[in-house]
Structure 1
Amino acid sequence: MTRDDLYEQGMATRRAVLGDAHVDRAETNKTDFDADFQQFITENAWGSIWSRPGLTPRERSLITIALLAALGHDDELAMHIRATKNTGATPADVQEVLLHTAIYAGVPVTNGAMKLAKAIFTETNP
């Protein structure tokens, strides 16, 4: 695959997972300062990794949520919890992943992730 192919595949996958509105906002807000970074994540995260056939989007979503929760990356975690509506991961799936995360990454970081997930699922499913 060429870099152009990776970018195109990455953009398609990124849109499928995060939604057009999110990607359009990121593209609109892109500047010369972060253009290379945006290209990098589109080609590598979305084109090379998220587009691989070995795992389903649901499985990748749940792994990503566990890792982001464990690392305390709340902004990215919120984005990926919201993306579950596009990946097939359910609130029950996220709950199980976060319970699992509590054992292996710690209760304090998972406590914050649970609060975040609860707020997001409440706002999207009142």
Structure 2
Amino acid sequence: MNKELFEKGLEVRRSVVGETYVEASLKNADEFSMPMQELVTEFCWGEVWSRPGLDRRSRSILNLGMIAALNRPEEFAVHVRGAINNDVTKEEIRECLLQIAVYVGMPAGLGSFKIARQVFKEMGI
């Protein structure tokens, strides 16, 4: 593990998806799953999310589409929160979800709206 990238990734990950989520993910990791937490923190957050080519807002918008297309509802909820943290508005998220429905399919769009509404409710938005 590259400790420098891990620390950088930890900072970005906390900023985007929140301290509570990240700490719970690390705390709940065991000997079996900790290497995955290290990999995602180092590679995804430290290496890719830290690159200068796209801002975090743009990366959040991309993630909404990709994660919805992959039908990963738990991760989708995390990234709706991340998008809000990265200054994507509720209205912009709605437009992303309409785009998802057209290109990925109505079930993905409907499911994404349901998840986003729940996240907005939890966040008081």
* Shorter-normalised TM range: over 0.9
Report if aligned partners of 1:50, 1:60 keep a CA contact under 8 Å in 2.
yes
**1:124: which partner in 2?**
123
Percent sequence identity over aligned pairs: 36
**1:66: which partner in 2?**
65
Across the aligned residues of Structure 1 and Structure 2, the Cα RMSD in angstroms comes to 1.4
Letter in 2 for 1:70: A
Moved segments of 4+, more than 4 Å: none
Which stretch shows the higher mean deviation, 45-54 or 80-89? 80-89
**2:112: which partner in 1?**
113
Q: Does 1:46 align with 2:45?
A: yes
Secondary structure at the residue paired with 2:30? coil
Where in structure 1 are there 5+ consecutive unaligned residues?
none
**1:55: which partner in 2?**
54
Which stretch shows the higher mean deviation, 116-125 or 94-103? 116-125
* Superposed displacement of residue 67, structure 1: 0.8
Residues 32-57 of structure 1 show CA distances to partners (whole Å, capped at 9, x for unaligned) of: 01111111101111011111111111
- How far apart, CA to CA, are the structure 1 residues paired with 2:71 and 2:39? 22
- How far apart, CA to CA, are the structure 1 residues paired with 2:99 and 2:124? 24
Report if aligned partners of 1:70, 1:110 keep a CA contact under 8 Å in 2.
no
- How far apart, CA to CA, are the structure 2 residues paired with 1:3 and 1:125? 38
Residues 4-49 of structure 1 show CA distances to partners (whole Å, capped at 9, x for unaligned) of: 1111111111011011111111111111011111111011110111
Where in structure 2 are there 5+ consecutive unaligned residues?
none
**1:88: which partner in 2?**
87
**1:28: which partner in 2?**
27
Report if aligned partners of 1:69, 1:113 keep a CA contact under 8 Å in 2.
yes
Which stretch shows the higher mean deviation, 115-124 or 37-46? 115-124
Structure 1 length normalisation: TM-score?
A: 0.92
* Superposed displacement of residue 123, structure 1: 3.0
